[in-house]
Amino acid sequence: MNVMITGAANGIGSDLARVFFQKSNAILHLVDIDAEGLHELQAELQENRVVTYQQDLSDINGLPKLIQNFMKNANSLDVLINNAGIMFLQSLATTPWEKAEKLLVLDLHVPLRLMQLSIPLMKNGGGHIINVSSMAGVTPITGSAFYSAAKAGLSIASEIVRNELKDDSIHVTTVYPGPIATNLESEVRRQIENNLSSQILPTGNSKELAELIFKAYETKDRTLVYPGAYSLFKDFPLATFFFAEHFSPKTKK
């Protein structure tokens, strides 16, 4: 079994690599711009089951080459995990377009393009696509216009692709994490005011999330929301909008 994980050098991605390594016989194909992080993870795991690809995913025209390089090491793709992404909190009006565009490319265009390129590699034997979206895609968080737009787009596209591929034995799981204790989350917290809502909102653990994603892969679940408390936000959008309007953490001036 061949599993490709983007954004694999740290955070959720590296924990996903560890879980799939421990709980399956998969050959892991790990993609990240961070060559040092990839090397350290490969050394931690068994090198004969780990292939690394240093890739700047923001260069979307380089993705076909990534798949070509992958095919030199494998004859099929069984699992694609679109995990790579960036996040920042800043008002739409003050965000430089170049900064916004990079986020939109990494968080939306790249996973869509990788799905396009990967589906033909799965059609013969089936496969599984796991898209790591965000609760920000269903919650109007102040300062996250670009990030939320990207994740909302990925979420609905993921659901559509699931329906499109249901007769091809290709399963699609959409993951909706809330805040997860990673370097990315820590950086985002530094950008918001320390008010009550920022203190009480549940924060998840990347290792636990990785375990739950593997379980969702095994059971072919349609969606996964983590931490579980955020299911209320996803299932009751009007309440979500009210909470976000009145209690959403504010970005620092």
- Digit-coded pLDDT (tens) for 70-90: 999 999 999 999 999 999 999
User: How does pLDDT run across 4-19, given as a tens digit for each residue?
Assistant: 999 999 999 999 999 9
What is residue 85's predicted lDDT score, i.e. its pLDDT?
Answer: 97
Where does the pLDDT of residue 177 fall: very low under 50, low under 70, confident under 90, or very high at 90 and above?
very high
Alpha-carbon distances, residue 214 vs 94, 170, 175 (angstroms): 39, 16, 11
CATH 3.40.50.1820 fits 2-247, yes or no: no
Distance separating alpha carbons of residues 131 and 82, to the nearest angstrom: 5
Which are the contacts of 181, defined by CB distance < 8 A and separation ≥ 6?
203, 204, 205, 206
Look up the pTM and report it: 0.88
Structural contact between residues 55 and 33, judged by C-beta atoms closer than 8 angstroms: yes
Lookup result for tokens 């969702």? 216
Q: How far apart are CA 100 and CA 46, in angstroms?
A: 38
